[in-house]
Chain A
């Protein structure tokens, strides 16, 4: 871990015309790591990012970079003095400037020759050397995005915030672009926040995931922990498919395995394994990329959804045997939401 200060939000709140959009949000973004902020549309992701960046004034709470207060009860450092790098969803490149001009833009404190040298370093680092003099409309989506990242990183910001930077990219090139971009971001060893609504993106590419729901940060943890031990239904749902089932409709063997008294349980489709165990009838199969989603009839009234990789194509009406992996069955009965 590097010694750059982390970016912290404490009790951050903001409402618009009476509607609370961000509600006492706490979040620590460590330097050298990518923290993903995920949540459905309207959950307050963008407003939280705007408050961190200084584009929005919080109603309450503080934003700090290390010990320095950026927003607080008596302090508000405006965006232009905050030194926080921003990467926008549509990249917001300056259409009247070349790649070099865009990357140099934030280096106005340096003399011109140094500006060019610094900008070239970042252009090189993001693999844009051959596009140095091109204008934004001549660039591909991926090149625009790397230009935006180079532009944000070049002035050596204290943190970088990325607002759904990959959603506009062609799915075929997204993975590669994502990996290259985030590598450069990590190398800068500053706190990085990646706002996304794509759970898979967050799980694969981040070091820490924070789930925001109705303006509140519900949980903030490593991808592994947050996926395996969500603290609420909303968090579990934010990270992948989640289904609900009445405990009474489960086979006795599975109930014994879980050892819970709760009536309602939630499970991920991968909790159901095909191979051995309880016999059930396939009622429907759907191919979902690498896995197949199966609807399995447990009893006259209960159906369970499984995601698996069966060795062969299964057809509706077939009988299969299924077992349960209790790790992906959650009991939220004593938790809110």
Chain B
């Protein structure tokens, strides 16, 4: 049982925990209490069921695609040696830097009727555009592909960890019992790693459920799209609330699934002695095939879309007119949001170190904010605005937007801080206190310097996450406060794709920072 102590010192952290959890609670509350009766039948039949079904179809398809991409790639890079392996090992994480909406713009252009793929088909065959079938990106499978290609690294990372860390001795045991390479994958590698991999898939699906930008751009009627349209275009807050409830339910189910799968890791074994990953060198033909497989994945999920965006930007010399003001608001909002979310994350990490009840509350609040898609949190904020009788403008709007950033991203900031804290010896705290240092002095003299590496990572991650954030910013920003993401989305949905490229590329560039940090951390844990 967590120890519960009530003292004035718990009030500030408790308030912050409440602040982080409130928007989700509001969204859930309104979802549960929103109008019943005839409207409810209408919502159920015409909105809730179709939107939910579409969302589930997209999620199911992207789960299959992610699994198909990530698991073979992870198996190859963790067990075999082939040309380019160490490059692919980290490069396959790069797609994480691309927000779904940017991926969607790039592929929409690549696959469009006038795009390079269809043009070359026509040139080679002499057909006209009506003479052949070409996959349509503006569809549920298209959205699933786009989301899977940016989110599969979640699965790749967990699968790689599962394959290299856990089952090497087990794999060698299986080989000594006469198992051939392919049998190794199906009979041992995959079943042993499956819980961990499914954890990764669940996490990726939670992120996919939170998507708004790609679905809106591709015109796929997912719950995220439905929520924004119901509120903004149709003026149906009841519908929006019901849809949000369904979306929260789906997203949190995936988060819970991910945590449950992670918990199963306890039953797997590690042995330091046999951990030395001696990768089996592949014979030239197989090695070349492995390189080809990884190369194609990297091309489809990162290189081709990025290069296409760069090419578009250069070819059309599309200078986004208002780039400077855009950058200014983006950086300003990003900096303010980062500071606010960072303080919340720091409070979560430190204040909850000793107080069990606070820790429990903080975990729930952070997880709720993490699982709740930006659309849902935006909706929660809009309800709060409505209740408080305020208009969505000026300082109030910015305040609410920052609040939503804090709610959504605090857990992303807690993670690096907490992992730094976990690496420190538990006795450090007691040692500090035994030397008569506590409270604020302890924070500045011990906690903060020790947390510094994690704090830098947390700050960077928060900044980039806020910079990439689309739906909540779109819903809450006051007039004149467009960010790069908002403007790119506006241009893209306006069919002015060339103008959207420069902001999109800047977002990808910024997105690379946390990905590189992550890749460092991964290679470090793999070496130790």
Interface residues of A (CB under 8 A from B): 46, 53-56, 78-86, 88-96, 105-106, 108-109, 135-137, 151-152, 155, 163
Contacts and interface: CB of A to CB of B under 8 A. Distances in A.
Contact of B170 (A80, A85, A92, A137): A92
B178 interface: yes
B34 interface: no
A194 to B, nearest CB: 15
Contacts of B269: 90-93, 95, 136
B173 A88 contact: yes
B192 interface: yes
Contacts of A152: 176-177
B267 A82 contact: no
Contacts of B170: 92-95
A78 to B, nearest CB: 8
Contacts of A90: 169, 269-271, 273-274
B172 interface: yes
Given A89-B273, A90-B169, A82 B188 contact: no
Which of B175, B176, B266, B270: most chain A Cβ within 10 A?
Answer: B176
Given A55-B172, A95-B192, A137-B266, A88 B177 contact: no
Contacts of B177: 80, 105-106, 151-152, 155
Given A86-B173, A88-B169, A88-B271, A94 B188 contact: yes
Contact of B172 (A92, A95, A106, A137): A92
Interface in B254-302: 266-271, 273-274, 278
B172 A79 contact: yes
Given A80-B178, A92-B274, A95-B268, A86 B172 contact: yes
26 contacts: A53-B176, A56-B278, A80-B176, A80-B177, A80-B179, A81-B178, A86-B173, A88-B169, A88-B274, A89-B273, A89-B274, A90-B169, A90-B270, A90-B273, A92-B169, A92-B172, A92-B271, A93-B170, A93-B173, A94-B174, A94-B188, A96-B192, A105-B174, A106-B176, A135-B267, A155-B178
B187 to A, nearest CB: 8
A108 B178 contact: yes
A244 to B, nearest CB: 32
Contacts of B187: 105
Contacts of A106: 176-178
Contact of A92 (B173, B191, B266, B267): B173
Contacts of A91: 269
Closest 10 CB pairs of A and B: A106-B177, A92-B169, A90-B271, A137-B267, A96-B191, A92-B173, A86-B176, A79-B175, A80-B175, A92-B170
B265 to A, nearest CB: 10
B180 interface: yes
A106 B177 CA distance: 5
A35 B172 CA distance: 22
A85 B267 contact: no
B183 to A, nearest CB: 8
Interface in B161-186: 169-170, 172-180
A170 to B, nearest CB: 17
Nearest to A92: B169
Contacts of A79: 172, 175-176
Given A55-B278, A80-B180, 11 more contacts: A78-B175, A80-B176, A85-B176, A90-B269, A93-B173, A95-B170, A95-B268, A96-B191, A96-B192, A136-B267, A137-B266
Contacts of A108: 178-179
A55 B172 CA distance: 8
A243 B203 CA distance: 61
A158 to B, nearest CB: 12
Nearest to B265: A95
Contact of B178 (A56, A83, A137): A83
A155 B179 CA distance: 12
Which of A46, A85, A105: most chain B Cβ within 10 A?
Answer: A105
Contacts of A105: 174, 177, 179, 187
Which of A56, A93, A109: most chain B Cβ within 10 A?
Answer: A93
B307 to A, nearest CB: 38
Given A56-B278, A90-B169, A95 B267 contact: yes
Interface string B185-212: 0011001101000000000000000000
A96 B192 CA distance: 6
Nearest to B171: A92
B159 to A, nearest CB: 16
Which of A53, A79, A136: most chain B Cβ within 10 A?
Answer: A79
Which of A54, A84, A96, A108: most chain B Cβ within 10 A?
Answer: A96
A293 to B, nearest CB: 32
Nearest to B190: A96
Contacts of B273: 46, 89-90, 163
A85 B176 CA distance: 6
Contacts of A84: 176
A168 B59 CA distance: 44
A163 B188 CA distance: 21
Contacts of B191: 94, 96
Nearest to A79: B175
Which of B173, B267, B269, B274: most chain A Cβ within 10 A?
Answer: B173
A114 to B, nearest CB: 16
A82 B177 CA distance: 9
Nearest to A90: B271
Contacts of B267: 95, 135-137
Interface in B131-184: 169-170, 172-180
Which of A55, A90, A92, A93: most chain B Cβ within 10 A?
Answer: A92
A236 to B, nearest CB: 27
Contacts of A78: 175
Contacts of A95: 170, 192, 267-269
A70 to B, nearest CB: 13
A195 B196 CA distance: 33
Nearest to A144: B269
Interface in B404-458: none
Contacts of A46: 273
Contacts of A54: 176
A106 B266 CA distance: 25
Contacts of A82: 176
Which of B174, B178, B270, B271: most chain A Cβ within 10 A?
Answer: B178
A163 B179 CA distance: 20
A281 B526 CA distance: 56
A180 to B, nearest CB: 21
Contacts of A136: 267, 269
Contacts of B173: 86, 88, 92-94, 151
A25 B105 CA distance: 63
Contacts of A163: 273
Contacts of A137: 266-267
B181 to A, nearest CB: 8
A175 B76 CA distance: 42
Nearest to A160: B176
B66 to A, nearest CB: 22
Which of B174, B177, B267: most chain A Cβ within 10 A?
Answer: B177
A78 B194 CA distance: 27
A135 B222 CA distance: 42
Interface in B228-272: 266-271
A79 B174 CA distance: 9
B161 to A, nearest CB: 15
B277 to A, nearest CB: 12
A79 B171 CA distance: 11
Contacts of A89: 271, 273-274
